């Protein structure tokens, strides 16, 4: 991992391989480690860049509120700092997808293609936003333990709990280790994230939309609607996977990504 300071924040960044760049943007409240099944495998063919976003993993924490726009601006600045001049393939999962929309809106010149995994274009309902703010307060006062206990149940397909318990344990560990201020700041930012459904028809780059069949957070039908609204989007459902589809079925996901990127050349 490299340390790269942009926008006044030290970021811990995985940066390996050479060739076209894939920028992996992790979900909440996770770190670059969720892409472990992708990083070294894909670094054989591509330059693979995967930061810990501000407030997560080994990166610096900025208390308060972290907007999705801020995270997109950090990603753009990281590419500049790493001297990556050519447009990249940005692959984001869930919160990483919220960041991807902002990147596509505000840093389009840096974008060659988009991969959206298990994410949403719609904003939070008032009730969902309220729940986030309560969680932020709870975590600040009591730590991340309750989130680490409760959240994995929503993230995976049934079979993943049975066949890959190490993935579930790894996520629990990542959440426990996440800074309470970092987690709360991102929750506040997500609570007021923009409705980007009207932006989807304006996305001009080739796009791959991927969802796990058993994703209960961003369900298949919702993601299909997202793909249908983006002019150059392909849509793929990964079986025996939930919200963490790339982590649960890395071989299938990596093959999809390879085929998608090969088709861009």
Closest to ligand MLT by CB, 82 or 200: 200
Least distance from C-beta 28 to ligand MLT, angstroms? 3
Closest alpha carbon to 112 in 134, 90, 141, 136: 90
Least distance from C-beta 244 to ligand MLT, angstroms? 8
Least distance from C-beta 186 to ligand MLT, angstroms? 9
Closest to ligand MLT by CB, 46 or 56: 56
DSSP state letters, 20-55: SEEEEE--TT--GGGGHHHHHHHTTTSEEEEEPPTT
Closest to ligand MLT by CB, 2 or 213: 213
Say if CB 179 and CB 61 are below 8 A apart.
Answer: yes
Closest to ligand MLT by CB, 16 or 194: 194
Quick check: helix, strand or coil at residue 2? strand
Rule CB under 6 A: which residues touch ligand MLT?
27-28, 94-95, 190, 217, 243
Say if CB 143 and CB 180 are below 8 A apart.
Answer: yes
Contacts 24+ apart (CB under 8 A), 167-173: 167/244, 167/247, 167/248, 170/33, 171/30, 171/34, 171/244, 172/148, 173/148
Least distance from C-beta 263 to ligand MLT, angstroms? 27
Closest to ligand MLT by CB, 43 or 104: 104
Least distance from C-beta 109 to ligand MLT, angstroms? 26
């Amino acid at each position: 991992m490299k340390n790269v300071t942009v926008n006044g924040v030290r970021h811990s960044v995985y940066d390996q391989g050479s060739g076209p760049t894939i920028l992996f943007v992790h979900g909440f409240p996770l770190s670059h480690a969720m892409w472990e099944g992708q990083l070294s495998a894909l670094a054989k063919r591509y330059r693979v860049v995967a930061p810990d976003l501000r407030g997560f993993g080994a990166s610096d924490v900025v208390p308060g509120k972290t907007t999705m726009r801020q995270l997109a601006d950090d990603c753009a600045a990281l590419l500049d700092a790493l001297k990556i001049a050519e447009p990249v393939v940005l692959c984001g999962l869930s919160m990483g997808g919220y960041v991807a929309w902002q990147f596509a809106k505000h840093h389009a010149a840096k974008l060659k293609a988009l991969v959206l995994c298990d994410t949403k274009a719609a904003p939070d309902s008032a009730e969902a936003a309220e729940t986030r703010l309560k969680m932020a307060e709870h975590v600040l006062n009591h730590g991340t333990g309750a989130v680490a206990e409760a959240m994995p149940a929503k993230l995976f397909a049934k079979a993943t709990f049975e066949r890959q318990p190490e993935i579930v344990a790894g996520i629990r560990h990542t959440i426990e280790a996440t800074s309470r201020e970092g987690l709360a700041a991102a929750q506040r930012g997500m609570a007021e994230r923009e409705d980007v459904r009207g932006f989807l028809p304006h996305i001009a780059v080739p796009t791959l939309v991927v969802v796990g069949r058993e994703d209960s957070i961003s369900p298949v039908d919702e993601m299909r609607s997202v793909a249908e609204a983006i002019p150059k989007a392909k849509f793929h459902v990964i079986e025996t996977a939930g919200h963490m589809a790339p982590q649960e079925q890395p071989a299938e996901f990596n093959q999809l990504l390879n085929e998608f990127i090969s088709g861009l050349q």
